[in-house]
Amino acid sequence: MDINQLTLLTDLYELTMMQGYFKSKNDETVIFDVFYRENPSGGGYAITCGLEQMIDYIKNLSFSYEDIDYLRGLHIFDEDFLEYLAGYHFTGDIYAIPEGTVVFPMEPLVKVCAPMMEAQLIETALLNIINHQSLIATKASRVVYAAGGSGVMEFGLRRAQGPDAGTYGARAAVIGGCDGTSNVLAGKLFDIPVLGTHAHSWIMSFDDEYTAFRTYADLYPDACTLLVDTYDTLRSGVPNAIRVFQELKDAGRTPAKYGIRLDSGDLAYLSKQARKMLDDAGFEDAVISASGDLDEHLIASLIHQGAPITSWGVGTKLITSADCPAFGGVYKLAASRHEGENTFTAKIKISENPAKITNPGDKIIFRLYDSETGKIRGDLICLSDESYDPSEDLTIFDPLATWKKSTLQGGTYKMRELLVPVFLKGKCVYESPSVMEIRSYCQQELNTLWDESRRRLNPQEVYVDLSLPLYQLKHHLLDQKHETKKGENK
């Protein structure tokens, strides 16, 4: 989908609410937070992704004549409101955590500060973009970590939920750590490596497997990976691959990169047998790659079984994040200010579920690092006017179990503010790095996690704490709402 045609990529109620604000309260500036409540796949972290596409969306946000005509045809919008939409452009501020950053539940990934109508319109598209790419980048990072340093290729285009999911999902997968993608369009759009071998249909189109292998090797002598499981992996596929590799070697044409791919069967057993056959034939440097409904759990199991696989093609379960198909990011009002007012009034959403009670006010996030190891000690969500000195002691506490406290000694920790300005007064002030630069940054970010927080099962939680002023504000608002409710019930 063309990023320039996304103005109507919104839920109808965003527009009906906008008309209501236009009629009754169009002097209000608000702050909305984009955040999520639970890490995907039961993991210990997430990777934020999609900022570049969010920027493109905001830059190109305007209503065409055709858009206005369509909305007029719905017969629910007044002409004065449609006239406002015809001249719409975003004039607010947006702050965001840079793409590829390790993030945790409840902290704002994006903060929007804008006139109420402008902030309301962009909710749906922002969530659509950030939720999807963050989900796939997180899943990819888990798969790559399970592979333990061997290469992972994203092969999911044909199983993705449509062209956009396949293309932007490939972008996110590379940011999360994949070496490349099979998606040629993604390669062109984002300047990322494209990778691939051949299908079973290539083998089946020839009279015999050997001829198919030999023809492919003649075409691509510098990168020859042969799919060996079309007929019989160990009795036909691997022997024919060895025969072709030997002929290339005898002709002085041994490829710089060559090997076999397994796509079915008992991958642990077949890879071990194939490795022995290749080694016995003198092809110790031949790569064994594998594909076929892989995910981080199966890859980890195969490695645990000693499978000599050093390259993985991961498709369906990566591009769809099959075990956790939704990221769950939300867009919640945190503060508002009427024209003429100097300060924001904090807003809070209350729920019977404590995890769904929002953190109010205009906020920033500090990441706390151990000075010696560079590993994350925790994150601290604060009000925007707070500041701290890392040379001084800092006591942090769990906002739900407040008796859980930790005091960081001055000089033993470092602090970094995570939210950076992206738009100021409607003008973009942020330059997006290339995808491969974001990928490199993401690897650095992942290295700041303790291994215990990266493990697939039962990871150690990284604590996201509230500063004391924010905690006190939150509970003051909760107490206020309680007193109001008591009064209404009398």
**DSSP category for residue 391:** T
Q: Report which secondary-structure segment, H or E, holds 42.
A: none
Q: Are 143 and 48 in contact (CB under 8 A)?
A: no
Which pair of tokens denotes residue 9?
Answer: 């990529």
372 alpha-carbon distance from chain centroid: 29
Q: pLDDT tens, 306-360?
A: 999 999 999 999 999 999 999 999 999 999 999 888 899 999 999 888 888 999 9
How many other C-beta atoms lie within 10 A of the C-beta of residue 58?
22
| Spans of all domains in the chain | 3-136+325-485
Instruction: Please say if the pLDDT value at position 1 is more than 80.
Output: no
How many other C-beta atoms lie within 10 A of the C-beta of residue 247?
15
Q: Average model confidence (pLDDT) for the chain?
A: 95
How many other C-beta atoms lie within 10 A of the C-beta of residue 333?
17
Q: What angle do CA 90, 134, 419 make, to 5 degrees?
A: 55
Q: pLDDT tens, 351-403?
A: 888 888 999 999 999 999 999 999 999 999 999 999 999 999 999 999 988 99
Q: pLDDT tens, 55-82?
A: 999 999 999 999 999 999 999 999 999 9
Sheet of 257-262: strand order equals 180-181, 151-154, 311-314, 287-290, 257-262, 223-227
Architecture of domain 3-136+325-485: Alpha-Beta Barrel (3.20)
Q: pLDDT tens, 256-280?
A: 889 999 999 999 999 999 999 999 9
Percent of the chain clearing pLDDT 90 (strictly above): 90
pLDDT on residue 340: 86
Total residues belonging to the chain? 490
pTM: 0.95
